[in-house]
Amino acid sequence: MKTVNIKNRDMYWSIAADLYFPPGFDESKKYPAIVSAHPIGSCKEQTSGNIYGAALAKEGFVVIAFDRSFQGSSGGEPRFIEDPTLSVEDFRHVADYLVTLPYIDDARIGVLGICGGGGYAINAAMTERRFKAVTTITGVNYGRLMREGFSNFDPVALLEATANKRTVEARGENWKVTDLLPPSVEAGKQAGIKDRDVLEATDYYRTPRGQKPNGLNRSLDSHQAAAVGWDAFHLAEVLLTQPLMVVVGDQVGAFGAYRDGCEIVGRARSQKKELVVVEGSSHYDLYDKTEPVGKALAKVIPFFKANL
């Protein structure tokens, strides 16, 4: 593995990324590549890199797992902004970097995204034609989630609150960053949280299981408006033509990956598209649990080999 910093040519900061190489890697040869995108509030050292990136590299792909702007080790201030438009642009900058590497076959670049990174990957592929195949792992349409569960099904009220926060910050108050998860599963249960996805996210991000210094699941409250008005699947019927594989678990939680997966497979213009349902598995089982991840990879690896 090699860590690199990619110059974002449109902004003033760099994108941090980890490159995973196949066994016996030889710079004189050409390899297919996969861009791997982390979940919302996560970082490249979590599931996108250490699980899926490492596994796909072992199968002959060069994989680049990157931190989106304002997240992880990438640049961008203030921190913890989740702006879908800027996030999609990050995919292009990563593709720009890949095509400069002499060992990358620029006609064989795929993209994989997990959770909200899956929604971003789908949206990026619609207009970034260098991506020749698309896979999502428990992918979520972040805009839909913001308009529904993350705004308590009142997106206009969230936008009003966001506008007020932005005003007071513009007048000199400090940025307000919110922890998106309780400090522990037990604390979440004591607070009355019952949803599978929230509690399992807490188990992943707030324990040694998945905990990383840069995967903090925090959000800058005053910069949420862009996500509320965004839709990962907009124009999929027209622009999403690449081969598509969508992997979801059948144990449904509030984040809605199963629902979103069914929707995008139905809407995509892609002639080759497949919904893979991993039975008995939840959203966060597909992040790192050995059996569910193995079942996902048993489909994803041949999919990428056939289409890259």
The pLDDT, as a whole number, for residue 12 is 78
Beta bridge partners of 37: 66, 113
CA 295 to chain centre: 20
The pLDDT, as a whole number, for residue 157 is 98
Separation between Cα atoms, residue 160 and residue 188, nearest integer Å: 27
88, burial (CB in 10 Å: exposed 0-12, middle 13-18, buried 19+): buried
The torsion angles phi and psi of 268, rounded to 5 degrees, stand at -60, 140
Beta bridge partners of 65: 18, 36
The pLDDT, as a whole number, for residue 51 is 98
The pLDDT, as a whole number, for residue 7 is 85
Domains of the chain: 2-145+231-307 (3.40.50.1820)
C-alpha torsion angle, residues 288, 289, 291, 294 (rounded to 10): 0
Per-position pLDDT tens, the chain of length 308: 999 999 877 777 999 999 999 999 999 999 999 999 999 999 999 999 999 999 999 999 999 999 999 999 999 999 999 999 999 999 999 999 999 999 999 999 999 999 999 999 999 999 999 999 999 999 999 999 999 999 999 999 999 999 999 999 999 999 999 999 999 999 999 999 999 999 999 999 999 999 999 999 999 999 999 999 999 999 999 999 999 999 999 999 999 999 999 999 999 999 999 999 999 999 999 999 999 999 999 999 999 999 99
DSSP annotation of 8: -
Cβ atoms of residues 197 and 40 within 8 Å: no
The torsion angles phi and psi of 59, rounded to 5 degrees, stand at -95, 10
This prediction's pTM: 0.97
> Under the phi-then-psi rule, with left for phi > 0, alpha for psi from -120 to 50, and beta for the rest, what region is 215?
beta
The pLDDT, as a whole number, for residue 152 is 95
Separation between Cα atoms, residue 85 and residue 82, nearest integer Å: 9
